[in-house]
């Protein structure tokens, strides 16, 4: 059955449901280090109080004329004709600007929809892997070699490879690499988080902007908490300079 177009109403008269934001709390707490958390630590308060990334610290934004050939080169590398595919007009997105976001999928339609948005949102830093054949181990090696800030993985890659199996291998090799499930099948969220993914985004080609909004919020949370984890791993944390 054809899905309703973006902004249209379903046959029941309801607008399309927006993707939900899902973050693996236990994994984040583990990553931050439970020994660094106070007894009265409130996860929800932390999530709500995370600072926004200042636009002053960002690299200069590339123009549309500069981003267009980057998008076209990425699409051609994925064996997709870039003709007719336009870059979206987006405001600067501090959470993703200059960040290396890697999208792993096997669908040409997904790349047609999301490559333009990710290229603009990351200021040309996004990368893409189109799965065609190979094992979960082969794909995990490619992701580890790319070493992105965030890796987005589809749930069903070909007939045999599951995205969460790839996440599990990546997580074992490099627990600090942030993996996020990115699937059209919303029920895959549990499998992804059980494998070590830090979150899940319901991927919708009929509502790209909604999926991007969830991804942006997850990036804000995950990348900030990852930075806090680096700070929390400093053995001098909490030591007063006056005591030294």
The pLDDT of residue 73 is 97
**Band of pLDDT at residue 78, cut at 50, 70 and 90:** very high
The pLDDT of residue 34 is 47
pLDDT tens-digit series, residues 91-108: 888 888 999 999 999 999
Q: Is the pLDDT of residue 88 over 60?
A: yes
CATH number of 26-32+62-85+95-231: 3.40.50.2300
The domain limits of the chain are 26-32+62-85+95-231
Query: For residue 101, what are its two tokens?
Result: 């976001």
- % of the chain with per-residue pLDDT over 90: 50
End-to-end C-alpha distance for the chain, whole angstroms: 68
pLDDT tens-digit series, residues 129-169: 999 999 999 999 999 999 999 999 999 998 889 999 999 99
- The mean pLDDT of the chain is 78
The closest of 236, 154, 163 to 194, measured between CA atoms, is 163
The pLDDT of residue 120 is 95
The pLDDT of residue 30 is 52
């Amino acid at each position: 059955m054809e899905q309703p177009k973006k902004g249209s109403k379903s046959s029941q008269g309801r607008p399309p449901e927006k993707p939900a934001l899902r973050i693996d709390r236990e994994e984040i707490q583990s990553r931050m280090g439970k020994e660094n958390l106070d007894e009265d630590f409130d996860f929800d308060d932390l999530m709500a109080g995370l600072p926004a990334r200042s636009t002053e610290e960002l690299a200069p934004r590339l123009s549309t004329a500069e981003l267009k050939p980057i998008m076209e080169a990425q699409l051609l590398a994925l064996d997709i004709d870039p003709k007719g595919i336009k870059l979206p007009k987006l405001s600067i997105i501090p959470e993703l600007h200059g960040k290396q976001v890697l999208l792993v999928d096997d669908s040409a339609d997904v790349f047609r929809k999301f490559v333009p948005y990710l290229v603009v949102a990351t200021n040309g830093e996004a990368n893409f892997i189109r799965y065609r054949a190979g094992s979960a181990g082969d794909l995990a090696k490619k992701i580890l070699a790319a070493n992105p800030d965030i890796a987005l993985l589809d749930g069903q890659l070909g007939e045999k490879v599951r995205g969460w199996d790839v996440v599990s291998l990546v997580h074992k090799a490099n627990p600090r690499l942030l993996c996020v499930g990115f699937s059209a099948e919303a029920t895959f969220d549990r499998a992804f988080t059980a494998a070590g993914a830090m979150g899940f985004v319901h991927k919708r080609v009929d509502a790209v902007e909604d999926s991007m909004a969830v991804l942006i919020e997850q990036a804000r949370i995950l990348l900030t908490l990852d930075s806090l984890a680096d700070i929390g791993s400093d053995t001098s944390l909490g030591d007063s300079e006056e005591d030294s």
